[in-house]
Chain A
Amino acid sequence: MSENTGIRAIPVVGSPLLARGRFMLENALLNAGRFVLKTGIATWLILIVVWGLIAPFYPPSFFPGPLQTLLGGKEILLDGTLARFSLISVERVLTGWFFGILIGAPLGMLIGRVRLLRQLIEPFVDFFRFIPAIAFLTLFIMWFGVGEKSKVILIMYATCFVVIINTASGVLGVSPDRVQAARTLGASEWQILRHVLIPECIPYVFTGIRLGLGSAFTAIVAAEMLAAKEGVGYLVFTSRLYFRTDWILVGIVTLGLLGYFSDRLLRLFGKTVLKRYRIADVGEFGK
Chain B
Amino acid sequence: MGLETMSATLESAVSSPGLPWVFVRERSTRHDVVVSEIRQPLIRIRDVEMRYPSERGEDAARVLAGVNLDIHEGEFHVLLGPSGCGKSTLLNIIVGLARQTAGTVTMRGRVIRKPDRERGLVFQNADAAIFPWLSVLENVEFGLRMASVKKAERRAIALKYVDLVGLRGHEGKFPHELSGGMKQRTQIARLLANDSAVLVMDEPFGALDAHTRRIMQNELVRTWRETGKTVIFVTHDIQEALLLGQWIHIMSKTPDANIYKTYRAELAYPRTEANPHFIELLTRIQGHFDFGSGI
> Which residues of A are at the interface with B, using a C-beta cutoff of 8 A?
175, 177-178, 180-188, 191, 195-196, 199-200, 202, 276-278
In the complex, the answer to whether B129 meets A187 with C-beta atoms within 8 Å is no
Q: A180-B97, A180-B121 are in contact. Are A195 and B132 (CB under 8 A)?
A: no
Min CB gap B231→A, angstroms:
14
- Interface range, B side: 20 to 34
Given contacts A181-B123, A195-B146, contact A186 B194 (CB under 8 A): yes
Q: Are A185 and B176 in contact (CB under 8 A)?
A: no
On whether the beta carbons of B174 and A184 are closer than 8 Å, the reply is no
A35, B69: Cα distance in complex, Å: 68
Contact across chains for A182 and B142 when beta carbons are under 8 A apart = yes
Pick the residue among B121, B133, B176 that contacts A184 (CB under 8 A).
B121
Beyond A177-B123, A180-B97, A195-B146, whether A186 also contacts B133 by CB under 8 A is no
Contact A185–B131 (Cβ < 8 Å): no
Among the interface residues A177, A187, A195, A277, which one has the most CB atoms of the partner chain B within 10 A?
A177
Q: Which of B123, B135, B194, B200 has the most CB of A within 10 A?
A: B123
Taking CB atoms and an 8 Å cut-off, the chain B residues in 128-167 that contact chain A are 128-135, 142-143, 145-147
Given the interface pairs A186-B143, A186-B147, A278-B176, the reply to whether A177 lies near B115 with Cβ below 8 Å is no
Residues of B within 8 A of A177 (CB): 123, 125, 128-129
**Residues of B with C-beta under 8 A to A202:** 133
B contact set with A: CB distance below 8 Å: 95-97, 114-117, 119-121, 123, 125, 128-135, 142-143, 145-147, 174, 176, 190-191, 194, 196, 200
Contact B129 A183 (CB under 8 A): no
6 pairs from A and B in contact (CB 8 Å cutoff): A177-B129, A183-B97, A183-B115, A184-B117, A184-B121, A199-B131
Nearest Cβ distance between residue A185 and chain B, in whole angstroms?
4
Known: A181-B121, A184-B121. A175 touches B142 (CB 8 A): no
B143 touches A276 (CB 8 A): no
B interface: dominant SS? loop
Q: A181-B123, A183-B115 are in contact. List 12 more A-B contacts (CB 8 A).
A: A177-B125, A177-B129, A180-B121, A181-B130, A184-B120, A184-B196, A185-B120, A185-B142, A185-B191, A191-B146, A276-B134, A276-B135
Q: Which residue of A lies closest to B117 (CB)?
A: A186
User: In the complex, A178 Cα to B190 Cα: how many Å?
Assistant: 13
Query: Is the CB–CB distance between A196 and B131 below 8 Å?
Result: yes
Q: Which residues of A contact B114 (CB under 8 A)?
A: 183
